[in-house]
Amino acid sequence: MNRRDFSFRLAGAVGALSLGNSRLGAAAFGEVLQGNVALRVNGDRINQHLTALSEFGKNPYGGVSRVAYSEFDKQGRTYVMGLMREAGLETSIDVAGNIIGKRAGSNPSLKPLLFGSHIDSVPDGGNYDGDVGVLSSIEVARTFREKGITTRHPIEVVIFSNEEGGTVGSRAMVGDLTEKDLDLVAASGKTWRDGMRFLGGDPTRLTAPLKRKGDYAAYVELHIEQGGTLEEDGINIGVVEGIVGIGRWEMVVDGFSNHAGTTPMNKRKDALLAASKFIQMVNRVVTAEPGRQVGTVGKIAVVPNAPNVIPGKVTATLEIRDLDGAKIQRLGNRCIDEAKKIGAENGTTFSFTQTHNLKPAIMTRSVQQAIEASAKSIGLTTKYLPSGAGHDAQHVAEITPTGMIFCPSVGGISHSPKEFTKPQDVANGANVLLQTILALDAK
Ligand SMILES: [Zn+2]
């Protein structure tokens, strides 16, 4: 789009940025904005750093097994802290083991702009989940330093600890962890408590939230999509509307176990037959209305699970995810109502216990708009979409305006050594992060 078009879009999208350019009469700010729109990160350098980071915890399948609190996690963190210092960031480790890299702004009265992600992986994971966001964030800081740009706000790059084991570092930051949580055991075999200590933290000091509302100006996280929407649609950048909520229920179907040879078909109370009808019904109910909601029966166990016995009992799970918490409950209730009918038809009974009711985390509208305007300003296409996976951003959103930028995952593959994001898409994501930080800084 041309500059005039860009200015109008930006003006509409980002309130405080609506100073526009000289054609619109705000000459001084226009010059600054124009200069910054031309600013780019060094994409090759981010991709080289991605390759270098993938050496720590390298697995034989081409990915990494850099699980939280492991020796490899620690080595990767040491490497990345070195990059942070090269980028002009002053590094420290908070009591939860999160790494923070700070750079002062020109206006000491402003709160810091926070951006980052995580570098721990799932066992047998890939080289992009988390790493893209962290290395791009460091590159943004380094670009500011190299180009002599001092933001008005202080900036802080964060590497959250143990994201994959339960977004532990970000929950600690906002005060969402209990004393009991700290005894949970991570994939590395260490408890969260011991793991934090291993990384240089001090869990005894986790008695209050590390950060509160008002401590930051905003948080922005760049991450790979982990789904295939952007690649399929040929879109450069995803603007995340929110991280879906999760409703999960445990279901028990009670029937009657009896001889599979001697019990006539019309005398059976087959719990598995009822459960199979339930699974079909869930799919029907969830797809019956427009929207991006998803519903899954992902776990099932049959008792007694023998070839010659009619299944007398089935336990299973029902999970529904959406950006709208009320819709999750409504669809869940509909499935439960329908289940009762299925039970009445074949002499079985269904009972449900809701085990999860995780609220959706809606990203801040003004940050979403800043991301969209920033991507468009550098000629990239965008699409609004929800995140079906959890992220640190969902917790940070409790204390500060928050947004997420997605870049395409090839084939929608993630949590796998086959996870891949093209170098150009990594660079695009980093450039949108850079422009978004500048846009938020101008506010
Ligand atoms: Zn991640």
Q: Which of 436, 435, 441 is nearest to 35 (CA)?
A: 435
- From ligand 1's centre to the CA of 63, what distance in Å? 14
pLDDT for the residue 32? 43
**pLDDT for the residue 37:** 80
Distance from residue 16's CA to the centre of ligand 1 (Å): 31
In the chain, which residues have pLDDT < 50?
1-34
Tokens of 234: 């040929």
Q: To 5 degrees, how large is the angle CA 271–CA 272–CA 277?
A: 100
Cα–ligand 1 centroid distance for 164 (angstroms): 7
Predicted local confidence at residue 443, as pLDDT: 85
| CA 302 to centroid of ligand 1, rounded, Å | 34
* Per-residue pLDDT tens over the stretch 29-75: 333 444 578 899 999 999 999 999 999 999 999 999 999 999 999 99
> 174 by DSSP, 3-state: which?
helix
Q: How far is the CA of 166 from the centre of ligand 1 (A)?
A: 11
CA distance 295 to 279: 10
What is the CA(130)–ligand 1 centre distance, in A?
A: 4
Question: What is the distance between the terminal CA atoms of the chain, rounded to a whole angstrom?
Answer: 24
Distance 129 CA to ligand 1 centre (A): 5
Answer whether 177's CB lies under 8 Å from 168's CB.
yes
Strands 349-358 and 300-303 turn out to be unpaired
302 pairs with which residues across the strands? 314
Residue 408 CA to ligand 1 centre (angstroms): 14
Phi, then psi, of 167 in degrees rounded to 5: 40, 50
Alpha carbon of 217 to ligand 1 centroid (Å):
23
Report pTM: 0.85
Interval between CA 346 and ligand 1 midpoint (Å): 44
Tell me the CA–centroid distance for residue 163 and ligand 1, in Å: 7
- Of the candidates 219, 175, 153, the residue with the CA atom closest to the CA atom of residue 400: 219
Q: How far is the CA of 228 from the centre of ligand 1 (A)?
A: 15
Q: Is 303 helix (H, G, I), strand (E, B) or coil?
A: strand
Q: What is the pLDDT of residues 158-213, one digit of tens each?
A: 999 999 999 999 999 999 999 999 999 999 999 999 999 999 999 999 999 999 99
Element of type H or E holding 60: none
| Percentage above 70 pLDDT, the chain | 92
Give CA 182 to chain center in angstroms: 22
Cα of 167 vs centre of ligand 1, distance in Å, is 9
Two structure tokens written together for 168: 């532990």
Calpha distance 435→34 (Å, rounded): 11
pLDDT for the residue numbered 35: 54
Q: 223: closest CA among 207, 239, 206, 203?
A: 239
| CA 131–ligand 1 middle distance (angstroms) | 8
**Rounded Cα distance, 43 and 377, in Å:** 18
Give the CA distances from residue 18 to residues 24, 38, 365, 426, 432, in Å, rounded to whole numbers and listed in that order.
Answer: 10, 18, 16, 28, 18
- CB-count burial class (<10 Å; 0-12, 13-18, 19+) for 180: exposed
Residue type, position 436, single letter: T
* pLDDT at residue 368 in the model: 98
**126 vs 132: CA distance, rounded Å:** 11
Helix, strand or coil, per DSSP, at residue 74: helix
For the chain, the residue count is 443
Asked whether the beta carbons of 405 and 436 are under 8 A apart, the reply is: yes
Measured CA to CA, the distance from residue 65 to residue 47 in angstroms comes to: 19
User: What is the distance in A from the centroid of ligand 1 to the CA of 78?
Assistant: 19
Alpha-carbon distance of 364 to 277, in angstroms, equals: 40
pLDDT computed for residue 36 by the predictor: 79
